[in-house]
Every structure is written in structure tokens, then in C-alpha cells.
Amino acid sequence: MNLTAIIEKSEDGWYVGQIEEFPAAISQGKTIDELKANLIDAFMLLLETNKESYLANTQLVCDC
């Protein structure tokens, strides 16, 4: 699965990011690498917290 991170540098020098496909996954870091790791943590927490609602709205699509 590929996700898109929207990354901006704040006025105080921190990087702030959000996963475009999951806007509730937001984090920050002093470096881009730290931000990426923090975004993964935020995404995993979001999935864990909302897994029942995400699974209820998920369909498997296969063009086999």
C-alpha cells in the first residue's frame, strides 16, 4: 500500500505532516525521517483505534 504524506516545515523549524488518504493521521518531527516514523505510528494507531469501522466499510476488489 502506498500512501501520500503532505509535509510542511513550520515557522519554528519542525516538520508537520499528514497522510492524505487518512487525514486524521497527523504528526510532527524535528527531521523528515523522524516525521515519517511518527506518521507511521499515527497511522497504525488510527487503524487500531478505528479498525471495526474501517473493516465494515471495506470491499475487496479484484480484476482477476
Tens of pLDDT, residue by residue over 14-57, are 999 999 999 999 999 999 999 999 999 999 999 998 877 766 76
Query: What kind and span of H or E run contains 61?
Result: none
> pLDDT value at position 4?
95
- The model's pTM is 0.76
Name the pLDDT band for 61 (thresholds 50, 70, 90). Answer: confident
Distances (CA, A) of 64 to 35, 39, 42, 57, 61: 37, 33, 33, 22, 9
Q: For the purposes of burial, counting CB atoms within 10 Å of the CB of 58, is it exposed (0-12), middle (13-18) or buried (19 or more)?
A: exposed
